[in-house]
Amino acid sequence: MPKSRIRKKADYTPPPAKQTASIKLHSRAWVAPVMLAMFIIGLAWIVVFYVSDGSLPIDTLHNWNIVVGFGFIAAGFGVSTQWK
């Protein structure tokens, strides 16, 4: 019986290099300062409310001052989504 031919395997050739597209991550200049300002204002609002035993920043809001402080903080997180 004749001997079968052994197929020669092709040498490994790496796939062609992909063209990498440069991604421009330029953030707007106002995003970081506004984000930090919102965080700080919200934190300061809550701290002033607790330190003043509820008489400051706005006395007529009573415990809703906490909601206002957390609202500033939430707005800061909302602005942070624009940061690249």
2-6, 39-43, 69-73: range with lowest mean pLDDT: 2-6
pTM score of the predicted model: 0.69
Long-range contacts of 68-75 (CB under 8 A, 24+ apart): 69/42, 69/43, 69/45, 70/42, 70/46, 71/42, 72/38, 72/39, 72/41, 72/42, 72/45, 73/38, 73/39, 73/42, 73/43, 74/42, 75/38, 75/42
Overall average pLDDT of the 9-16 stretch: 80
Are 27 and 83 in contact by the 8 Å Cβ rule? The answer is: yes
Q: Which two tokens stand for residue 65?
A: 């001052």
